[in-house]
Structure 1
Amino acid sequence: MPVLLLAAVDDVARRSAALGLLLDLPSVVVVTHDLVVGHDGGGAVRRTITDRSGVLAEETTPLDHACLACAVREDLLPTLQMLLNLDRWSTVAVSLPLTAAPEPVAYEIGRAIGDGSLQGAVLASVVSLVDLATFEADLLGDELLDERGLAFGDYDRRSVGEAVAAQVEFADDVVTVDRASAAAETLLAHLVAPTSRLHVGWDSVAADHLVGVRHDTETARRRMDPLQVQPSSCRDEHGIWTVELSAHQPLDPGRLLRHVEALGSGRVRARGHFWLASRPDVACVWDGSGGQLAIGHLGPWRQRRPGSRIVVTGSDPDDRRRIVDTFSRVLTTAADLSTAWASQLVDDGFTPWLGPLPTRTADRETVEDPSPRPSTD
């Protein structure tokens, strides 16, 4: 039996998609989950099961923590197996809690199918539902989820843009529940991966298509891999632009630290990887949206050639000019490398994000000549 995953930030979009499926597919059952956060930090998952005849069941299950992983492990997988065993429907649609990232849920369902703990199911399309009327403000604005009452507890400090990006960029199919401005449609098209499908308006996608798709775990993993980020193939128009910041020389840690706000702020969505001169053997992640920026440790380059590639999408031409100019400023130069300063650093300033500097060895290879200029097109 195909299992669809539906992810949304807006409840109207989520309800519209569920209703569309109930109207279009004669034998579908919709399982809707909502996380309820308690005052003590605990929580519960509220589950509603619906088909064409109406609401079949509503139940609230306590959780130790109001987190998505707990909800999947303790409620979703057993519920799916129960519905499969009943054998009353041809399709199960799982409507995830608002703002939930679909990636870990898809992984857990795929793992359960693979190891036999969830029998009789195949994972169909992972669908991101988008309200185009608010999409630009949601993605590029600086509002936090807790300011909308959508956070999964006090620990959830994500911006609305982070939640939207995680849903759109992972999905097999991205479906808008309305039509809006050409700028909003173009912005969404710039974010959708080349291996995903964009449908503008629910009437532009057949429900049978969503059921017939099979989620490919490896393809989805590549879509989210910072080392495999690719720029959009869409044209820059209606005020929407995408630039690729790439270079074969490392970034200077001191200058990057001084200019990180200029490079990482603004009404932009940015994701990719970078190479820091003080950590030549380590690939680092760059991920930002809605005024938030995450910098992290990806691990060794292994067989991959070190370098930086950050894809940035935005709507303000001033942001574009500032980011492109700043990226050029933070690149190392031949003079930087000739001083061998990197081998003498005790702290490059990125310890809070990347951990302590690795131990340097005398026979470490020098970083390559930074003669190629960065690409920003």
Structure 2
Amino acid sequence: MAGLADHDVAQEIWLASPGAVLVRHDLRELAQGIVRRWVDGELTVLELAHGCVSCTLRLDLLPLLESLGGRVVVHLDPALEPEAVCFALREVDVRVDAVVSVVDRATWLADATGEDDMADRGLAAADGDDRTVAQVVVGQAEFADALVLVGDDPDPVLDAVLDRLNPRAPRRDRRGLDAAALLAAVPADARRGRFDDGFGALLRGQPPLEPAHGVAVVHFTARRPFHPVRLHDALDVLLDGVVRTRGRVWLVSQPETALWLESAGGGLNVGNLGHWLAAVDDWSDEPAERRLAAAAHWDPEFGDRAQELVVITGSASPDEIAAVLRDALVTDEELALADELEFADPFAEWRDESNRNDEMEEL
């Protein structure tokens, strides 16, 4: 159960889950090493040697879930993102039945397109937490298997965004919520906590591609690399009037490395996904799904290397975004001389230091 909106939805889900235990954490004093945890209403104050989210998960939540057994409803602190929690759960014998997030109609769109840091709201998970509110609320809604909307007035723009951000998640209004029916409506093939390695389908759930209420989807693909400097200069187009960007990036300066680019509102991250299959000889350790997808779209010259970005726009122009990204690709001459030219690369640090899985572990 996730979301910045503070409502009693977790309580209703718990009541709709006979025999389940309700667990809730309060991380407002995490920077001081203090975590408050309730299990079925019984408070325990924990003092951790290191005030960080990963320590809270590793030292408390994971062993607690294993010890409880049976069904548990976990009400996540607003500072926690369900994707990072589910990534951590891979270490224990726990199955996720559903992730439910709350979306506040009155604030969600402004939060999702804004530039406020979590620290600006007093919601930072620890010192040095530089996540934006947009990154958190968009991630919470995107990773959910079901969504509960609170607030009085339906918003067609918000509905259009959610249709494209998470098209398969059933949505219900908080008023008159039937929690059992909501959980029953979660599709059988829903994510249910499964972590995306970055090489899967980006148009998950087949979102509508036609514009609605000013909201549009840009699906940018190309079979040639980006020029690193021009792409770096182009990133501003993804930070103004854009709700979400996700996708794989191929740089001419890093022919062996697949980069992951992700933005929400005014926040942007770049991570290292690892190697393109075209850059290695042995595929035996690669997931079967990735091998099949690569083989199905194999290019005789570039292999599985390709650009693919999905951008959900709010007020930004889809045509401008596509044009700016297209202009950031290398020219025919640059591509022909790629092995001879030295490209300045603002993204070099991500090739050497950043890994998308490591970022999940740090949260």
TM-score, structure 1 as length reference: 0.76
Shift of 1:300: 0.8
Aligned residue pairs: how many? 325
Q: Is the contact made by 1:268 and 1:290 (CA closer than 8 Å) also made in structure 2?
A: yes
Greater gyration radius: 1
- Within the candidate set 343, 346, 355, 2:340 is matched to 343
- The secondary structure found in structure 1 opposite 2:96 is strand
Look up the equivalent residue of 1:199 and give its one-letter code.
R
Counterpart secondary structure, 1:343? coil
Verify: 1:330 aligned to 2:338, yes or no.
no
Instruction: Indicate yes or no: 2:259 matched with 1:279.
Output: no
Bigger drift between 128-137 and 165-174 goes to: 165-174
CA distance, structure 2, for counterparts of residue 97 and residue 314 of structure 1: 28
Instruction: Please give the residue correspondences for 1:204-283 in structure 2 after superposition, counting only pairs within 5 Å.
Output: 205-207=178-180, 210=183, 220-221=193-194, 223=196, 225=198, 227-230=200-203, 233-234=207-208, 235-283=210-258
Q: After TM superposition, give the deviation of residue 227 of structure 1 in Å.
A: 4.8
> Corresponding residue for 1:7?
2
Letter in 2 for 1:123: V
Residues 1:218 and 1:7: Cα distance change in structure 2 (over 3 Å): closer
Name the CA distance, whole Å, in 2 between partners of 1:298 and 1:261: 22
Paired residue for 1:353? 350
Corresponding residue of 1:197: 169
Deviations 1:84-110 (Å, cap 9, x if unpaired)?
4xxxxx742111111311123224435
Which residue is 2:106 aligned to? 133
Deviation (angstroms), 1:221: 4.1
**RMSD after superposition:** 2.9
- Percent identity, aligned pairs only? 31
Report the residue type matching 1:274 in the other structure. V
Give 1:49's aligned residue. 39
Partner residue, 2:78: 98
Distance 1:212 1:329 in 2: 43
Q: Please say which of residues 136-145 and 216-225 is displaced more in the overlay.
A: 216-225
SS across alignment from 2:24: strand
Q: CA deviation at 1:145?
A: 0.5
- Residue segments in structure 1 that go unaligned for 5+ positions in a row: 1-5, 85-89, 114-120, 357-377
2:23 maps to: 31
Q: 1:297 Cα shift?
A: 1.8
State the partner residue of 2:150.
Answer: 177
Output the TM-score relative to the length of structure 2. Answer: 0.79
Unpaired segments ≥5 residues, structure 2: 278-290, 295-303, 354-363
Structure 1: how far apart are the matches of 2:90 and 2:234?
42
Question: Higher strand proportion, which one?
Answer: 1
Shift of 1:187: 1.0
Instruction: Quote the residue 1:167 is aligned against.
Output: 140
Give the conservation status (yes or no) of the 8 Å contact 2:198–2:273: no
